[in-house]
Amino acid sequence: MSFILRLLLDPRILCAILAAGGLALGWWHYTGLKSDLVEARRELVDAKAAMQAAVAIAENNAEQLARAEAQQRAVLTAMEEAYEALAAAADAARDAEAGVHAAPEADDGPVAPLLEQLRQNRFGGQ
C-alpha cells in the first residue's frame, strides 16, 4: 500500500492524473454542449416549421376576414337599398291612401264585395 501511496503522491503522477481527469471532464462537458447544440438546432427547425404554419394560418385568416368584411359590406348595402325601397313604397302607399281618403264622396260608388273587403283590410276603411 505504501508503494501505491508513494506513487500517487509523486508530483508527476499526480499532475498526470489531474491532467487526465481534466481532459476527461472537458471531453464530457464538450460532448454535453455538442448534444445540447444538436437539440437546440432540432428545436429551431421545429420552431421555424411552427412559425411558418402559424403565418400561413394567419394569412388565411386575414383573407377570410377580408372576404367576410366584403360580404358584410355587400349585405349592408343591399339592406340599405331594400330599406330605402321599402321606405319609398311606404311613402307611395301613404300617398295613395291619403288620396283615397281625400277623394270626394261623388267619386265613391258601389264596389265588388271582394274589393271592398280588400280595401277594408288594407286601409282600415269603414
Domain spans in the chain, listed from the N-terminal domain onward: 2-91
| Predicted local confidence at residue 46, as pLDDT | 97
Task: Report how far residue 104's alpha carbon sits from residue 114's, in angstroms, rounded to the nearest whole number.
Answer: 22
Q: List all residues 6 or more positions away from 100 whose beta carbon is below 8 Å from its beta carbon.
A: 119, 123, 125
**Segments of the chain with pLDDT less than 50:** none
pTM for the predicted model, two decimal places: 0.51
- Contacts from 2-6 at CB under 8 Å and sequence distance 24+? none
| Predicted local confidence at residue 125, as pLDDT | 60
| Predicted local confidence at residue 126, as pLDDT | 56
| Predicted local confidence at residue 114, as pLDDT | 82
